[in-house]
């Protein structure tokens, strides 16, 4: 089936209002932290590469691209030299990328200067990897940004894209970004350049942060059940927000994307696998138990896990260390957002009254914030298990340093007795700084009473403050 040039031009014209001299409608003024990196790679790229915005559905990739286009237009780039096309649209998907480019140039003759291509949901372009590499290698007058919410796994015979595109990995909204999109008027929190600086704060500075943070706690809990998706963050009803989130994940990702991109036929088994993971969020993945409960074979279950990771719905963490023991060990699973499990499991606000579920949601949110902050630094995340089943929830290996995080989101204050695993790891690896994520705002400060042998220090920090500072653009390091 062929698509006529007139049909393509008609579709493209609706997506590119700047060709008619019109502004981009309904574009928010606030920008995600990733905008700066995207703008740099489109306006003045550090290297001759395309840029890939990678992340789950409905997290704002399209908005980021349109904001980048607006900046280019404001900088004087000719409107005719900018193309936006989404291959989620059936007409554009059917026509293919070459026909789209021909229709663009039939509608808008090239002006002087560089061309800018913004390609949404590029996983629907046939042989997208080969096409992008060819453009980067041979079309030096073009700069390309493309998105993918479900980038297919590398197929047999497909060359590596290393050196052809730079990846910006997007998570769902941080707590800081959530507050920005809600346009809430809250007391200003102290700025923080680095988590390291917490160890140098005076006691009055801790008290000032605690006093200012009080109004943030309720919004943090609402953030956990609404989720970090721009659409659901702005829906007034939490029930409606969770319904939209559930439909996006179950209907669009599991039932549509998995079928269209990966040829998944056993959609019900895939859905059951995802529901199993929602029930075991931030837990160790027991493949034997999963296979027995769902009555699927191990290779099938393993394939489902890899597909869910490819569509950015889950993260997998190996245990701390290297070698054969790690390869044989169980992975720890985190969902992409703390609100996914409550939405899929139809829990509503019930997790706020369930201390265990609230702790799970908080740990998931903490991991996402740490991942988003450290990802550009080539971080490696693991979990640690020591003697007597002592554990540390998260270990970040970044910049040659080991930085452990333990989540203790409960009403009681955190003491040395509750942190035997964290203390053991710090002593074993001679770690200078560790962090405990707490619930109470006054459970904040350097932990006293530590053994002297290790020489390290542990900072207690309330989860709303950690997530706020991790999402704030001014914080730079660990």
Are residue 120 and residue 229 in the same domain, yes or no?
no
Are residue 12 and residue 156 in the same domain, yes or no?
yes
- Of the candidates 142, 170, 198, which is a domain's last residue? 170
Are residue 56 and residue 184 in the same domain, yes or no?
no
Are residue 114 and residue 55 in the same domain, yes or no?
yes
Pairing of strands 445-446, 380-385: unpaired
- Of the candidates 170, 201, 219, which is a domain's last residue? 170
In a domain, 234, yes or no: yes
Are residue 132 and residue 240 in the same domain, yes or no?
no
Are residue 225 and residue 284 in the same domain, yes or no?
yes
In a domain, 102, yes or no: yes
Are residue 187 and residue 136 in the same domain, yes or no?
no
User: Which residue from 386, 253, 353 is spatially nearest to 361, judged by alpha carbons?
Assistant: 353
Q: State how far the Cα of 149 lies from the Cα of 310, in Å rounded to an integer.
A: 9
Are residue 335 and residue 230 in the same domain, yes or no?
yes
Question: In terms of residue numbers, what domain contains 398?
Answer: 176-471
In a domain, 270, yes or no: yes
In a domain, 357, yes or no: yes
Instruction: Classify 423 in phi/psi space as left (phi over 0), alpha (psi -120 to 50) or beta.
Output: alpha
Are residue 151 and residue 198 in the same domain, yes or no?
no
Are residue 215 and residue 159 in the same domain, yes or no?
no
Q: How many domains does the chain have?
A: 2
In a domain, 14, yes or no: yes
In a domain, 478, yes or no: no
Are residue 156 and residue 181 in the same domain, yes or no?
no
Are residue 53 and residue 136 in the same domain, yes or no?
yes
CB atoms within 10 A of CB 346: 11
Per residue of the chain (478 residues), give pLDDT as tens: 688 889 999 999 999 999 999 999 989 888 998 999 999 999 999 999 999 999 988 899 999 999 999 999 999 999 999 999 999 999 999 999 999 999 999 999 999 999 999 999 998 898 898 999 999 999 999 999 999 876 654 343 344 456 789 999 999 999 999 999 998 889 999 888 889 999 999 999 999 999 999 999 999 999 999 989 998 888 888 889 999 898 888 778 888 888 877 888 899 999 999 999 999 887 889 999 999 999 999 999 999 999 999 889 999 999 998 766 566 678 999 999 999 999 998 888 888 899 999 999 999 999 999 999 998 888 999 999 988 889 999 999 998 899 999 999 988 888 888 899 999 999 999 999 999 999 999 999 998 877 755 557 999 999 999 999 999 865 544 4
CATH number, domain containing residue 155: 3.40.50.300
In a domain, 89, yes or no: yes
Residues 6+ apart with CB under 8 A from 93: 87, 124
pTM: 0.91
- Of the candidates 150, 170, 190, which is a domain's last residue? 170
| Measured CA distances, 359 to 128, 311, 312, 350, 475 (Å) | 41, 25, 22, 13, 25
């Amino acid at each position: 089936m062929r698509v006529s040039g007139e049909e393509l031009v008609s579709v493209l014209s609706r997506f590119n209002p700047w060709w008619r001299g019109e502004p981009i409608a309904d574009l928010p003024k606030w920008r995600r932290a990733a905008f700066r990196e995207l703008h740099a790679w489109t306006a003045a790229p550090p290297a001759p590469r395309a840029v890939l915005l990678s992340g789950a559905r409905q997290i704002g990739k399209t908005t980021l691209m349109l904001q980048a286009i607006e900046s280019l237009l404001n900088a004087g780039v000719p409107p005719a030299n900018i193309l936006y096309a989404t291959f989620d649209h059936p007409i554009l998907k059917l026509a293919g990328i070459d026909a789209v480019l021909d229709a663009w140039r039939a509608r808008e003759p090239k002006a002087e200067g560089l061309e800018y291509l913004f390609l949404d949901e590029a996983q629907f372009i046939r042989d997208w990897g080969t096409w992008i590499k060819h453009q980067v290698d041979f079309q030096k007058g073009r700069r390309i940004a493309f998105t993918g919410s479900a980038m297919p796994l590398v197929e047999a015979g497909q060359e590596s894209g290393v050196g052809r595109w730079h990846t910006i990995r997007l998570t769902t909204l941080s707590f800081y970004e959530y507050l920005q999109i809600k346009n809430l008027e809250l007391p200003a929190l102290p700025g923080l350049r680095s988590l390291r600086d917490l160890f140098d704060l005076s006691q009055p500075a801790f008290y000032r942060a605690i006093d200012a943070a009080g109004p943030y706690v309720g919004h943090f809990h609402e953030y956990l059940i609404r989720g970090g998706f721009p659409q659901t963050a702005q829906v007034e009803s939490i029930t409606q927000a969770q319904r939209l989130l559930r439909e996006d994940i179950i209907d669009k990702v599991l039932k549509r994307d998995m079928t269209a991109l990966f040829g998944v036929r056993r959609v019900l088994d895939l859905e059951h696998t995802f529901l199993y993971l929602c029930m075991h969020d931030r837990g160790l993945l027991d493949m034997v138990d999963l296979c027995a409960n769902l009555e699927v074979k191990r290779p099938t279950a393993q394939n489902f896990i890899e597909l869910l990771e490819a569509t950015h719905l889950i993260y997998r963490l190996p245990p701390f260390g290297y070698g054969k023991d790690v390869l044989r060990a169980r992975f720890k699973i985190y969902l992409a957002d703390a609100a996914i499990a409550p939405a899929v499991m139809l829990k509503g606000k019930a997790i706020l009254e369930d201390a265990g579920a609230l702790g799970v949601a908080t740990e998931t949110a903490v991991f996402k914030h740490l991942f988003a902050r450290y990802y550009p630094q080539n971080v490696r995340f693991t979990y640690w298990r020591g003697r007597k089943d002592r554990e540390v929830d998260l270990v970040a290996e970044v910049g040659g340093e080991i930085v452990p995080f333990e989540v203790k989101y409960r009403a009681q204050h955190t003491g040395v007795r509750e942190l035997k695993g964290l203390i053991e790891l710090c002593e074993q690896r001679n770690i200078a700084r560790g962090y405990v994520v707490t619930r109470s705002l006054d459970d904040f400060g350097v932990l006293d009473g530590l053994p002297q042998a290790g020489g390290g220090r542990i900072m207690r920090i309330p989860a709303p403050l950690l997530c706020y500072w991790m999402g704030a653009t001014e914080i730079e390091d660990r």
